[in-house]
Structure 1
Amino acid sequence: MPVDVLFVGAGVASLSGALHLANLVKKHNETVEQGGEGKKLDELMIAVLEKGAYVGAHGISGAVINPVAIKELVPDFIEKGAPLESEVKKEAVLLLTRNGKIKFPITPPPLNNHGNYVVSLSRLTEWLGQMVEERGIDIFPGFAGTEILYEGDQVKGVRTGDKGIDAEGNKKSNYEPGIDLQAKVTVFGEGSRGSLTKTLIKKFNLNEGRNPDSYVVGVKEVWEVPEGSVEPGQVIHTMGYPYKGKPYGGGFIYGMKENQVSLGLLTGLDYEDPFLDPHQEFQKFKLHPFVADLLKGGKLVQYGAKTAPVGGYFSIPKLVFDGGLIVGDSASLFIGQKVKGVHVAMKSGMLASETIFKALLKEDFSSSQLEVYQTSLFNSEVGKELYRARNFHQAFEKGLWSGLIRGGIQYFLGGRILKNRLHAQPDFSHLKKVKDFYGTDAPTDEQKGNIKFDGERTFDKETDVYYSGTTHEEQQPPHLKIEDLNICYGKCKEEYGNPCQRFCPANVYEMEIDEETGKPNLKLNFSNCVHCKTCDVKDPYEIITWVPPEGGGGPKYTKL
C-alpha cells in the first residue's frame, strides 16, 4: 500500500506532526490556487499506524503540560474542546521522610508550573486523533509496525505484523498477513524505547559518540477521592520517601476533575538494588501518612506504567537518515529537570513536518535534505531547554543530596558543572549482584523491604493490571523474546536472583519450580504486559527484547 508520508505510532508527537503537515499542505495549495508560486501537492496520502486498540489506548503520562506547542498547533484549543483537567492553580514540592514531610519554602524554578495544565494524556491523544481524522488523514489502530522496509540504505516504509498466528507459529483460521506500507518518508514516533527505532539506531549507528539512553519507569494510578481531598489543578511533587537518597526518582500528585487524582512514582532504572521493585515502592508511597490521608475513603480507577527517557541532550541520537526521521520519546526528547516531555514531543512532530513539507516540494527525501529537522529542533526553544538540562540526570548519580546541589548549580550555570558534558553508563550496568549489594546471597524480606498488600490502598501487580484494562490474544507467540533461557536458570538466578520478576510492573515474568524435577521454569505471563519496556532496558544480560504483540493488544487507558 503506497502512501506519501507514514507516521509510526499515534502518540502526541506523530499526531501533532500529521495535523501540522496537513495544515501546511492546505495553506500551500490555497496560496498556489490564488496565483502564488510553486506547485500544488494534490492527493497527498498521509497515514498513521497505531499498535493500540484505539488512539489513546497506550497514552500515559503524569501529566502536567506546557501549552506552548498546543497553542501553536491549535491556537483555539480551549474553544475546540481540548480535554484539559485544569489549569495549575496550586503547587508544592515536598521532601517526604518516613512519616512526615517538609515543604520547600519556594517552588524550585524548574518545577514551577504556573500557566501549565493538568491533563490525561490518553484523552488528549484521543482528541488529537479526532482532529487528525477530520483533516482526512487515515489512522490505522490495531496495526503494529514490526519490520522496516528498505531499498538499499533508504527507509521505504514499514511492514505490519501478521494477525492470527498461534503460539507455535502456525496460521489460525482468522489469519491475516501483514501489510507493506511503502512511503516516501517515514516518521518514527513509537514512544519510549521504540522497537523499530532501536533497529534503526543500530543499523545506521545513529548513537555514535552519544551517551547511552537512560530511563525512569513511572508507575501510576488514578483514584476517585472524596470531594475536597485534592483540588483540580493542585500539583504536588515529592522527593525522598520511599527512597533514601537513591535511586533517582520522585512522586507526583495531580488534582483532576470530578474528584479524581493522578498519582505516581518515578524510579530511575539506573538503580543498583537487584531486589528493588518499582511497583512495590509505589505501593509504599501510598502508605506515607500524607498520601494515605489524601486517598482516605477513595477507590482505584485505573493503573498503568511506562518508561520515559531521561538521559538528556547528550543521549539524543542522530534523528534523520535517508527516508525517515525520529520524533518524541523515541528520540529521547524529554526534559528530566522539569519532568516534561509532552510539549517537546509535539514540537518535534511539528518541526519534522515542516521539514517533510519542504522535502515533498523538492521531491528529495535524502538525509541531507531531512537534516534541517534536527538543526531546527536544536535551535528551537525546546532544543534550548533540552540543552540547558543536558547534565541533569547525571548529576544525581551519587544520590539525592549531591544531586540537588549539583542540579542547582547547573540550573544557574546553564547546564554546566565542572565540564560541559557528563558521561553515563547504560542503566542495566548499574545493577549490582545480590551478594555485592546485601553482603549475603539470601537477604531477608525485611532487608529487601517487602510489604503485604491490603487490597484497599495497596495492591498486588495482578490487581493493578486488571485496572489497566490490559488484554492480549493469548494464542500467539510471546512478544518478549528471551535469547538464552539457560542464563535465566543459571547465572542470572545465582547472581541477581532473577530481577525480571521485580522490575516488571505487571508480573509478566514468573519463575516457577517444577515439583517433579525441581528445575526452574520461567513462566511468561505476556498477556499482562502493559508495554512499558522496562524489561528491554533493565535486564542485566541484555537477553530480553520487547517486540510488538499482535495489533490491538496491550492496555486500554482512558484516564492516564
Structure 2
Amino acid sequence: MSDQRDVLEVDVLFVGGGPAGLAGALRMTQLLEENKRAAQDQRLGEISIAVLEKSSEIGAHGISGCVLDPRALQELIPDFKEKGAPIESEVTSDDLFYFTGSGQIRFPLLPPPLRNHGNYVVSLGNLEKWMGGLLESTGAYVLPSMAAVEGLFDGERMVGVRTGDKGIDRHGNRKPNFEPGADVRAKITVLCEGVRGSLTKRLTPQLKLEEGRAPQIYATGIKEVWRMPQGRVPKGRVIHTMGHPLDSKTFGGGFIYGMDQDRWSVGFVVGLDYWNPTTDPHGLMQEFKRHPFVAKLLEGGTLHSYGAKAIPEGGYYSVPRLSWPGGLLCGDNAALLNSERLKGVHLAMKSGMLAAETAFDALRKGDFGAEAMAAYDRRVRGSWIWSELTKVRNFHGHTRMKKLAEAGVKPTTLEETQRRYDNARTFTKVNDVFHSGTKHDEDQPSHLLVADTDLCATRCKEEYGNPCQHFCPANVYEMVPDGPAGGVKLKLNPSNCVHCKTCDIADPYEIITWVPPEGGGGPNYLDL
C-alpha cells in the first residue's frame, strides 16, 4: 500500500469517453496521420493521445434518445456504414401526437425541427463502443475506470488531471487494496464529461467560464428499451408526444423510436424548472406508458434496459467560455444542445473535432496559452454548431410563455405512482435500477455529498416536502422515520445511483454535490 502516485504523460488528454471525447480523439489521430505526409520540417514528432472514462468500459454510461443527425459522423468517418457503425435504422416515418388523458390527436403537419428524414435511430452506447474500438486500433490510450476528480495547474495553465483514489472504505479508511489516483499530465486537456461535469463544475468559478452568460436550464430524461414479439416494431419509426401526463406549467414530452430486432426505445423528458416540488420524472414516465396509445405499442413486450440522464437545454445564451490556458470544453459539458430539435450528439461530436484541430495547431506552434486556446471558441462560433444554436436561441423561453396549451393534469406524485406499479409495464424505481445494470462497491464513501442533512429534516421538509425523493429516478434519497416524535431523516442509497446528475441540479438549496464514485462504478447500460 503506497502513497506514490503513478504519472502518465500525454500530449492531448480527452476527459470523458462520450461522443465529444471519442470524436475529438479520432479527429486528432487523423490530423497526425495527415501530418506524417507533410514536408519534413513541418512534421510533428510522436504525439500521444489519451481518453479517460469513468465507466467500466467505453459506452457503459452512454445514453441518449437517440435519433442521430449524421452530419458530424459523416465529416469524421465518411464511410461509417462500410466500417460497421451500429446503426439501428434510417428514419422511415415521423409523427407528432398531442396526448389527452385517454386519447391522442396526430398533428397533420410536422414542425420542421422534428422532421428526421436522413437521420438514424441509434443506441448511443453502442455507437460509443464502436468509436472506441476504432480509436484503440490507432494506438491511442483508452483508459476506462478512471474518474478525473481534480485539475492539475501550473500557474494559470491547466496541465492535466488527477484521477480518484481506489480502495477507500465507507468511513474514509484505506483498505488493503488501496491505490492512489494517478496524475495524467497533458499539454492540452479537453473536458468532455457530459452534462453537469463534476470537474468542470469545480473549475467553472475558478476559471470564470460562466461570467456574462445566462444560467443553464436543465431537463431530466428517462429512457427504457423494450423487446417486442417478432414483427411488432417498424424499425425507423419516430414518434414524439406532448401533453399528458404533463400540466400546462411543465415543459417536456415523450418519444418512441423503432429500433432493429423488434425493440422500442421509449422515453420521457421533464424540464427541471417545474412548478410542483413533488414532480417525479420517473413517475411521469410510468404514467406515460399507461396512456392507451403507448400501452398498446408495448403490449406483449418485456423491459430490456433502463437509464436516465440530465439534459442541458439553455442553448445559445448559456454556452460558457469554452477555453482557458491548456484547456477546452466540449459537448453537453459546454451546453451544446439543440433543444428544439431534441439533438446534441452531432454537436458534441463536431465540438470534439474542432477541439482536436485547435489542439493540433497548438502543438505545432508549441503555444498552449489563452490566445492559442481561444481559437477553439472562434472555431465553434464560425461553425455550423453556432449557426444551429443561433436559429433556436429563443425556443425554450418562447415555449415557456406559450405553455403549449397542454392537458392540465397535475404531475404524478411518488405516492400515486408507487401504488399503481404492476411490474409488467410500469416499474418501481428500484426495479428499474436493476434493469440499468448499476453496480457500485458498497464499501466506499458516498459520492453524493449532502452539506447539511439537518436542513433536509426541517426546512426542506416544511417548505418543499423533500423533493429529492421525487426527482431522483433511482431511489437514492429516502426520508425515513427518526425517533418517536414523528421526525424524519435522510437515508442515502448511493449504490442505486445511475449518474444522471439530477440531484446536483434540482436540489432547491444547492446542498447536494455529485462527485464521481470509485472508477468503474455506475450503470452498465444495454442498447441505450
Q: TM-score range by the shorter chain?
A: over 0.9
1:117 counterpart (110, 117, 120):
120
What residue in structure 2 maps to residue 168 of structure 1?
171
| Paired residues for 1:266-415 under 5 Å | 266-398=269-401, 400-401=403-404
Question: 1:488 corresponds to which residue?
Answer: 456
CA deviation profile, 1:271-296 (whole Å, cap 9, x unmatched): 01011100000000000000000000
Letter in 1 for 2:509: Y
Partner SS, residue 227 of structure 1: coil
| Residues 354-386 of structure 1: per-residue CA shift (max 9 Å, x gap) | 011000000101121111111111111121001
AA matched with 1:325: L
Q: Give the corresponding residue for 1:90.
A: 93
Runs of 4+ in structure 1 displaced over 6 angstroms?
443-450
Structure-1 residue corresponding to 2:13? 6
Distance 2:500 2:100 in 1: 29
2:130 corresponds to which residue? 127
Contact 2:283 2:414 (C-alpha < 8 Å) held by counterparts: no
* Aligned AA (2:24): G
Matches of 2:412 and 2:108, distance apart in 1 = 39
1:46 maps to: 49
Kindly report which structure 2 residues correspond to 1:181-330, keeping only aligned pairs within 5 A, or say none. 181-330=184-333
Report the TM-score when normalising by structure 2. 0.96
Specify the code of the residue in structure 2 equivalent to 1:80.
K
Superimposed CA distance per residue, residues 188-226 of structure 1 (whole angstroms, 9 cap, x where no aligned partner):
000000011112211111111111011110001000112
2-structure distance, mates of 1:446, 1:312 = 31
Residue 413 of structure 1 corresponds to: none
Q: Aligned-pair distance for 1:245?
A: 2.2
**Structure-to-structure mapping, 1:151-166, within 5 angstroms:** 151-166=154-169
Residues 418, 428 of structure 2: 8 Å contact kept: no
2:519 paired with 1:551: yes
SS in 2 for 1:397: helix
| Corresponding position of 1:31 | 38
Alpha carbons 1:275, 1:448 under 8 Å: kept? no
Give the alignment's Cα RMSD to 1 decimal: 1.7
In structure 1, the gaps of 5 or more residues are 404-437
Q: Is the 8 A contact 2:102 2:291 kept in 1?
A: yes
**Residues 154-209 of structure 1: CA deviation (Å, up to 9, x unaligned):** 11100000000001111001111000111101000000000111122111111111
Cα distance, 1:333–1:4 mapped onto 2, change above 3 Å: same
CA distance in 2 between counterparts of 1:92 and 1:514 reads 50
Which deviates further from its counterpart, 147-156 or 295-304?
147-156
Shift of the 258–447 alpha-carbon distance from structure 1 to 2, 3 Å rule, reads closer
Contact 1:246–1:399 (8 Å) recurs in 2: no
2:27 pairs, out of 11, 16, 20, with 20
Q: Is the CA contact (8 Å cut-off) linking 1:395 and 1:402 kept in structure 2?
A: no
- The answer to whether the 8 A contact 1:396-1:402 is kept is no
* Alpha-carbon contact 2:223-2:265 (below 8 Å) kept: yes
Aligned length: 518
Percent sequence identity over aligned pairs: 54
CA 499–387 in structure 1, closer or farther in 2 if over 3 Å, else same: same
* C-alpha spacing 1:42/1:21, structure 2 compared with 1 (3 Å): same
Alpha-carbon spacing, 1:213–1:446, altered in 2? closer, same or farther (3 Å): closer
Q: Which amino acid aligns with 1:198?
A: K
Q: Which amino acid aligns with 2:480?
A: E
Match in the other structure for 2:475: 507
Partner of residue 140 from structure 1, selected from 131, 138, 143: 143
> Closer, same or farther in 2 for the Cα pair 1:198/1:444, shift >3 Å?
closer
Cα distance in 2 for residues equivalent to 1:39 and 1:322? 24
Displacement of 1:519 in angstroms is 3.7
Deviation at 1:230, TM superposition (A): 2.5
* Contiguous gaps of at least 5 residues in structure 2: 1-7
- What's 1:407 paired with? none
* Whole-angstrom CA distance in 1 between matches of 2:177 and 2:138: 33
One-letter code of the match for 1:179? A
